[in-house]
């Protein structure tokens, strides 16, 4: 990233947070949107599987946010997630912003405005480096799976849908 390039406000919040916690990687602005895993991977020159996408659900029992950080190559099996945390509902754009502080397409796995239960896809652990959204659809940052776990305090779980012919991807 050009040091003279100003980050959007939400991405700057993530950059400031990363600096405060001692993470040495900068927030990078993609030339095109990173709203989808495929777009982000194309802009970064990495595989889709190395994109740590954040999917937010609404837990029905207490209306709290449950975030799954999944490999960009995987579809999330909502039934596997619900078996761990209880029945889930869809989280609309308003819910996501109110609970995480970020807009859909740029939801960062850290720095949420409300407590969020975070689960990390076990498939992400096979990589040495990942890319996660940094609060804006054009902003990402690099981190290792170990750093992701340390930053989020997340449990590692198998969340991937293994039957490709089932439901549409989440």
Question: What's residue 12's pLDDT?
Answer: 96
**DSSP states along the chain:** --TTSPPPHHHHHHHHHHHHTT--PPEEE-SS--SSHHHHHHHHTS-GGGEEEEEEEEETTTTEEEEEEEETTPPB-HHHHHHHH--EEE--HHHHHHHHSS-TTS--SS--SS-EEEEEEGGGGG-S-EEEE-SSTTEEEEE-HHHHHHHH-PEEE--B---TTSSPP-
Question: What's residue 3's pLDDT?
Answer: 44
Consecutive 10-residue averages of pLDDT for the chain (170 residues) = 70 96 95 82 93 97 98 96 97 97 95 97 97 95 98 96 62
- Burial 5-37, CB ≥16 within 10 A → b, else e: eebbebbbbbbebbeeeebebebbbbeeebbeb
Question: What's residue 166's pLDDT?
Answer: 52
CA angle 125, 40, 103 (to 5 degrees): 95
Structural contact between residues 10 and 102, judged by C-beta atoms closer than 8 angstroms: yes
Question: What's residue 1's pLDDT?
Answer: 40
Domain boundaries of the chain, sorted by first residue:
9-157
CA-wise closest residue to 136 among 101, 107, 167 = 107
- Decide if domain 9-157 falls under CATH 3.40.190.10: no
Q: Which two tokens mark 123?
A: 């498939």
Measured distance CA(66)–CA(88) in Å, rounded: 9
């Amino acid at each position: 990233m050009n040091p003279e390039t100003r980050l959007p406000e939400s991405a700057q919040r993530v950059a400031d947070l990363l600096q405060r916690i001692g993470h040495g990687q900068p927030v990078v602005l993609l030339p095109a949107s990173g709203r989808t895993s495929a777009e982000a991977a194309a802009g970064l020159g990495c595989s889709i599987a190395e994109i740590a996408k954040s999917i937010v659900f609404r837990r029905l029992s207490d209306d709290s946010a449950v975030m799954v950080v999944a490999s960009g190559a995987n579809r999330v099996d909502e039934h596997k997630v619900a078996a761990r945390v209880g029945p889930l509902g869809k989280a609309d754009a308003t819910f996501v912003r109110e609970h995480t502080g970020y807009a859909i397409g740029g939801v960062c796995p850290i720095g949420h405005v409300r407590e969020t239960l975070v689960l990390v896809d076990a498939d992400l652990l096979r990589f040495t480096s990942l890319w996660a959204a940094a609060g804006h659809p054009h902003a990402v940052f690099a981190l290792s799976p170990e750093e992701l776990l340390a930053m989020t305090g997340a449990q590692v779980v198998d969340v991937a849908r293994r039957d490709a012919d089932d439901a549409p991807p989440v």
